[in-house]
Every structure is written in structure tokens, then in C-alpha cells.
């Protein structure tokens, strides 16, 4: 083990996922968040994976913040369960739950969620807010202290655009194809201080800069910043805010795996006294823009060589950079599988574009089915036929689907598996997703409330406890605890 391993057993991980509630026919956002959350208020948290469900900035959005986990298999089960429960509650309110960085139909003027902080945000940023229909996937990775968090941030800067390219899932704005893979990132750039964070030499320097921006009137308070990664204001975690809302829970888990591996790699570099790589602020901004414009299957910007290269080349460089960390946590096989799947089928934006906005019904069905699709086993990635001249398949996305039911071919689902016990080095091996037989069909688009066949004990519909929280000395979930104002702390916080 390295010196870092001896003093720091390894990062925990948690994920905050933001979703849109839309009309099942038109795709327009529906301001039903309060009603959907109220519908689940009496449901034991174990029934939706122990997540904390809360409001977001807009009344057409809901967020699920996972429990703190060590194993990615445990995280995958939790995310899937929370998605299914929210989808079922949305269905009962006449809405569809979709995981997309922007809505597929013209949203109209936004309805703000209730809460003093949301009101202050709307007052400060004025006309930007009503047009800000954007959902993200935020990954929290545990670190041992705040000084480490700030030091690690400098090492993460070159890799943030590649995480964005992998997550790109927001091609539409006002019902039209923008030509961008991540229009959400374009929208986010309108807020002050967005993008790759500056380099700070200490936690105190970081705090002074945030306080200065508050004094300048650019931020509502010290809990807010728009950088793509930032130390938590309350707990020893780093929050990655770079990714679009993940189309599938597999893609959310991929972001979590890569974020954790990046942090683990950076902590080792910090402990060994290695300086962070020098990256031009302007080149970093160009790399973020290029990732937003092109996504996974286009050109990106190499921040080290300062020139355009294929985005897939940047993904390969990222994977090589973090491979030792992935092997140490047992996550390499899972990451390899999901990256092969993305390379074959395209990022979320590319998959959305196979359903033109004019065919709104097909696009909505696609988004709803992917949102509740079960995790895939960490094995050989499914392949799809390639169209000559096309960089990825133009055919069906993922396993073959039965009309009206999401992803029922092949393994029908993955039972929730509690995190395995830690090994001698304090880490839990990811292992495989271990399908133990046909699981209950996801409560997906068109059948969210159908009684159907329920899962057997230990599957995703089990009424009992849903694994352990794997808390890293932190109660609840990172940056999403059950404080009295929890429901008013979402959005641009």
C-alpha cells in the first residue's frame, strides 16, 4: 500500500441526481415537484434506497441524493430504486420522470420552487433564472479534510471537460436541437464564475475568494459557487458538478467511479508532494466549451498539448491516468464495461438525437425508459450494428426493448446488493452486479403503477432494509442532510 492508503482508507461516494417532471404527451415541464414529493413522504426511505428526496430550484424538478456508499454496485442499486420510486410517484400525478440535462419540449416560463433561498437566487440573477431549465448529476467524493479537498481540486482541473463529454445529455432547448451535446453547460456559463475552478494554495484562500464573490454581489452566500468541482461548505467531500443529468443510472455510476478514481489518484499525488499540472485558464475554458459542443464523439481539447484531439482520445488518457485507482477499489471492470457501452451507443445527447424533436412521443418514451432502466452487469458490453460512416450505432439503444416496457430483454434487472464487507485494505471490492434471477419489471413508462409481479425478498422491491449507508463519518448524505431547510437548499446552491 502507498502512504496515502495507510492514512486514508479510500474515498466514499454519493450522488445527487436532478430530474424533470414533464407532461407525458407534450414533454413540457410540469410544476408538480411538491405533489410528487408529498406522495412519497410516508414511504420508508429504505423503499427508495435511503435517498433524500428534495426540491430543486424549479417546481418542475426533483432531486434524489443517495446515501454514502463505498461499493459502486451498492450505489447502482440505490440510484435505480430511487429513480423507480420517483417515476411511480410522478405517474400518479400525471407526469413523466425523465433524466435529461434539458427538457425536450419548450418549457415556457419557469415556476420557482417555494423557499427563501430560491427567491433570493431569482432576485439576484433576474432574467437568467426563468430560462434556466437544467438538470445535473453531482458526485460527492469523501476526502479526509478540507485542506486536502482544496489541494486535490488543482489536480482535477485537466480532467473535468472529459467528464462533461462523457455525460453530455442535453441537446435540446425550446424544443429544438441546439447543435450542442450539452446545452445545459451553455446555460450554466451565464452565471458568474462558472467553469473550471482557479488554483488555490489553501482552504483559507479558497474561502476568501468565495467570500469576495459574495461581497461583490455575484453569489447569494458562501454556500454557492458555480465551479465544476468544489469543496463542500459543510463536510469533508469534494462535489463534482460537471455532469449533465445521467440518462441511465449506469452513466451516473460511471461518473461516480471516475470521480472517485480521480480523487484517489490526486490524493496520492498530494501526499507525495507532486505539483498539480499547469493548465491555462483559457485552454481549460476552451476544453469545457468543446466538450459541451461535441460530447463524446467529436473533437475535444487536450489541455496539456493545447490542441484539438478526438474526444475518445481524451477518454483513453483519463482511463490510463486513473487505472491504478480503479484497480485498487475493484472498479476497473465496471468502468471498462460502461465505457465500451458508451463508445458503441453514443452519449446521451447522441441517443436522444435518434428521436427527432418532431417525433416527441418517441423521444419521451426513450427518455422515460432510459431513466428507469436497471443497471447492467459488469461483463462484456452489448454491441450494436454500426452504420457505415457513423461513429456509433444508429439502431436500438442498449438491450433490445419490448414495446411499452423498458429494457426487458437479457437480464431483467439487478437485485439490490448491500455493500460487501471491506477487505484487508479497508476497501470493498466492486465484484459483479450478480443477477440472481428475473427481477421485477421496472415500474417504467406506461406501467408505473401496475401491480404486476413484485420482486422476491432481496430484490429491488424488497420491503426490508436496503443495505448499509457506508457513512464516512458523515451522517446522512453528503451535502444533503436532513436539516430543517433541506428542501430549500437545492438548485444553484
pLDDT at 379: 56
Top-confidence residue, 401 or 350: 350
**Phi and psi (nearest 5°) for 123?**
-70, -40
The answer to whether 238 touches 138, Cβ cutoff 8 Å, is no
Distance set, CA 261 to CA 12, 207, 258 (Å) = 11, 26, 5
Dist CA 284 CA 302 (whole Å)? 9
pLDDT at 492: 56
List the grid coordinates of 118: 430560491
**Phi and psi (nearest 5°) for 130?**
-60, -25
Which residues sit opposite 243 in a β-bridge? 137
pLDDT, one tens digit per residue, over 135-176 is 999 999 999 999 999 999 999 999 999 999 999 999 999 999
Q: Kindly give the pairing relationship between strand 237-244 and strand 136-142.
A: antiparallel
Minimal CA–CA distance to 414: which of 46, 68, 83, 76? 76
pLDDT at 152: 97
pLDDT, one tens digit per residue, over 331-370 is 999 999 999 999 999 999 999 999 987 899 999 999 999 9
pLDDT, one tens digit per residue, over 187-215 is 999 999 899 999 999 999 999 999 999 99
3-12, 267-276, 278-287, 455-464: segment of lowest average pLDDT: 455-464
Dist CA 113 CA 115 (whole Å)? 6
Dist CA 221 CA 184 (whole Å)? 23
- Say which residues have a Cβ less than 8 Å from residue 208's Cβ, sequence separation at least 6: none
b/e sequence 420-449, b meaning 16+ C-beta within 10 Å: eeeeeeebbebeebebeeebbbbbbbbbbe
Q: What mean pLDDT value characterizes the chain?
A: 78
Dist CA 246 CA 295 (whole Å)? 13
List the grid coordinates of 460: 429491488
- Say which residues have a Cβ less than 8 Å from residue 135's Cβ, sequence separation at least 6: 18, 19, 20, 56, 61, 99, 100, 101, 102, 184, 244, 245
Top-confidence residue, 121 or 34: 34
pLDDT, one tens digit per residue, over 378-400 is 655 444 433 333 332 322 223 22
Query: pTM of the entire structure?
Result: 0.79
Mean pLDDT across the stretch 22-37? 95
Amino acid at each position: 500500500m502507498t502512504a496515502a492508503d495507510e492514512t486514508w482508507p479510500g474515498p466514499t461516494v454519493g450522488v445527487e441526481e436532478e430530474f424533470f417532471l414533464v407532461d407525458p404527451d407534450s414533454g413540457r415541464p410540469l410544476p408538480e415537484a411538491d405533489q410528487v414529493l408529498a406522495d412519497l413522504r410516508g414511504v420508508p426511505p429504505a423503499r427508495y434506497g435511503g435517498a433524500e428526496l428534495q426540491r430543486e430550484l424549479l417546481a418542475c424538478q426533483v432531486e434524489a441524493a443517495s446515501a454514502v456508499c463505498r461499493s459502486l454496485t451498492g450505489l447502482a442499486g440505490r440510484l435505480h430504486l430511487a429513480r423507480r420510486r420517483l417515476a411511480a410517484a410522478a405517474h400518479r400525478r400525471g407526469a413523466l420522470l425523465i433524466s435529461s440535462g434539458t427538457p425536450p419540449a419548450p418549457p415556457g416560463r419557469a415556476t420557482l420552487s417555494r423557499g427563501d433561498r430560491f427567491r433570493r437566487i431569482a432576485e439576484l440573477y433576474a432574467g437568467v433564472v426563468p430560462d434556466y431549465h437544467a438538470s445535473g448529476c453531482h458526485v460527492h467524493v469523501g476526502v479526509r479534510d478540507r485542506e486536502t479537498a482544496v489541494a486535490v481540486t488543482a489536480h482535477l482541473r485537466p480532467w473535468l471537460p472529459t467528464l462533461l463529454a462523457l455525460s453530455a445529455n442535453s441537446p435540446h432547448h425550446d424544443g429544438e436541437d441546439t447543435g450542442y451535446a450539452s446545452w445545459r453547460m451553455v446555460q450554466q456559463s451565464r452565471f458568474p464564475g462558472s467553469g473550471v475552478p482557479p488554483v488555490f494554495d489553501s482552504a483559507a484562500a479558497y474561502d476568501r475568494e468565495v467570500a469576495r464573490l459574495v461581497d461583490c454581489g455575484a453569489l447569494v452566500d458562501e454556500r454557492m459557487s458555480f465551479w465544476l468541482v468544489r469543496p463542500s461548505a459543510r463536510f469533508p467531500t469534494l462535489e463534482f458538478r460537471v455532469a449533465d443529468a445521467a440518462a441511465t443510472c449506469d452513466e451516473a455510476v460511471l461518473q461516480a467511479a471516475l470521480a472517485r478514481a480521480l480523487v484517489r489518484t490526486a490524493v496520492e499525488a498530494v501526499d507525495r508532494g507532486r505539483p498539480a499540472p499547469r493548465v491555462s485558464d483559457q485552454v481549460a475554458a476552451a476544453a469545457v466549451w468543446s466538450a459541451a459542443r461535441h460530447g463524446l464523439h467529436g473533437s475535444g481539447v487536450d489541455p496539456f498539448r493545447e490542441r484539438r484531439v478526438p474526444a475518445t482520445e481524451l477518454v483513453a488518457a483519463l482511463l490510463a491516468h486513473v487505472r491504478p485507482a480503479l484497480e485498487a477499489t475493484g472498479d476497473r471492470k465496471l468502468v471498462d464495461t460502461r465505457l465500451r457501452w458508451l463508445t458503441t451507443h453514443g452519449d446521451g445527447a447522441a441517443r436522444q438525437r435518434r428521436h427527432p424533436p418532431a417525433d416527441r412521443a418517441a423521444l419521451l418514451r426513450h427518455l422515460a425508459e432510459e431513466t428507469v432502466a436497471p443497471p447492467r452487469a459488469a461483463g462484456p458490453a452489448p454491441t450494436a450494428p454500426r452504420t457505415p460512416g457513423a461513429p456509433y450505432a444508429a439502431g436500438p439503444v442498449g438491450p433490445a426493448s419490448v414495446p411499452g416496457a423498458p429494457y426487458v430483454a437479457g437480464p431483467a434487472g439487478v437485485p439490490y446488493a448491500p455493500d460487501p464487507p471491506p477487505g484487508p485494505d479497508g476497501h470493498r471490492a466492486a465484484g459483479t452486479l450478480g443477477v440472481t434471477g428475473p427481477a421485477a419489471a421496472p415500474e417504467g413508462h406506461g406501467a408505473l403503477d401496475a401491480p404486476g409481479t413484485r420482486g422476491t425478498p432481496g430484490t429491488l422491491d424488497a420491503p426490508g432494509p436496503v443495505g448499509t449507508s457506508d457513512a464516512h463519518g458523515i451522517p446522512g448524505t453528503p451535502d444533503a442532510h436532513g436539516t430543517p431547510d433541506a428542501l430549500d437548499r437545492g438548485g444553484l446552491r
